[in-house]
């Protein structure tokens, strides 16, 4: 997650940048979409990746921290919420130590790049919301 002032400097490495409207994007709904994508995209060969992403999705679903109302646009469905300032106060019910332990295990023990890099957007978002 890069803020506008961070985009003015050179970013090393390779990757992709996706731009979201801060007033219209619910970060917690975004996290839910990421876990759904990662669940479908992992190969299920290594337990850390398979179980870690499953547990991350489970935490987000269990806490119901993604209030979403749907808005149809063509055949696609987007998540929209009223413009609100989001903070970690909405995320306080989740044990952050559990999340950090889960992130550490995914990074250190996954065999594939997907598992090792899966935590990057989550950790970045949590850091930016503090």
What is the 3-state secondary structure of the chain? Answer: CCCHHHCCCCCCCCCCCCCCCCCCCCHHHHHHHHHHHHHHHCCCCCHHHHHHHHHHHHHHHHHCCCCCEEEEECCEEEEECCCCCCCHHHHCCCCHHHHHHHHHHHHHHCCCHHHHHCHHHHHHHHHHHC
In a domain, 43, yes or no: yes
**pLDDT at position 69 over 60:** no
Res 70 pLDDT > 60: no
The answer to the question of residue 81 being in a domain is yes
Per the domain annotation, does 13 fall within a domain? no
Closest by CA to 32, choosing from 53, 46, 18, is 53
- We report the CATH number of the domain holding residue 102 as 1.20.1440.230
Average pLDDT, the chain: 75
Asked if the structure places residue 2 within a domain, the reply is: no
Q: Report yes or no on 55 lying in a domain.
A: yes
Predicted TM-score (pTM) of the model is: 0.68
pLDDT of residue 65: 57
Structural domain count, the chain: 1
Q: Please say whether the beta carbons of 110 and 116 come within 8 A.
A: yes
Q: How confident is the model at residue 105 (pLDDT cuts 50, 70, 90)?
A: very high
Which residues span the domain enclosing 115? 22-129
pLDDT, mean of residues 57-80: 57
What is the predicted pLDDT for the residue at 77? 46
Of 43-52, 85-94, 95-104, minimum mean pLDDT range: 85-94
Residue 16 covered by a domain: no
Distances (CA, A) of 41 to 7, 93, 103, 108, 119: 28, 28, 18, 19, 14
| Distance of alpha carbon 119 from the chain centroid | 8
Burial of 128 (0-12, 13-18, 19+ CB in 10 A): middle
Tens-place pLDDT, residues 10-60: 767 766 777 777 778 777 788 888 899 999 988 888 888 899 999 988 888
pLDDT for the residue 87: 53
Q: Tokens for 118? A: 């899966």
Instruction: Please report whether residue 9 resides in a domain.
Output: no
Percent of the chain's residues with pLDDT above 70: 69
Quick check: is 50 in a domain?
Answer: yes
């Amino acid at each position: 997650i890069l803020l506008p002032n961070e985009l003015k400097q050179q970013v090393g490495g390779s990757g992709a940048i996706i731009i979201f409207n801060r007033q219209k994007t619910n970060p917690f709904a975004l996290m839910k979409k990421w876990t759904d994508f990662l669940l479908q995209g992992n190969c299920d060969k290594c337990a850390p990746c398979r179980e870690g992403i499953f547990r991350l999705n489970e935490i987000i679903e269990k806490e119901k921290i993604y209030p979403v109302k749907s808005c149809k646009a063509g055949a696609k469905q987007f998540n929209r919420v009223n413009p609100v300032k989001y903070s970690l106060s909405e995320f306080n019910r989740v044990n952050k130590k559990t999340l950090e332990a889960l992130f550490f295990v995914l990074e250190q023990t996954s065999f594939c790049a997907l598992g090792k890099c899966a935590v990057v957007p989550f950790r970045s978002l949590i850091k930016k919301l503090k």
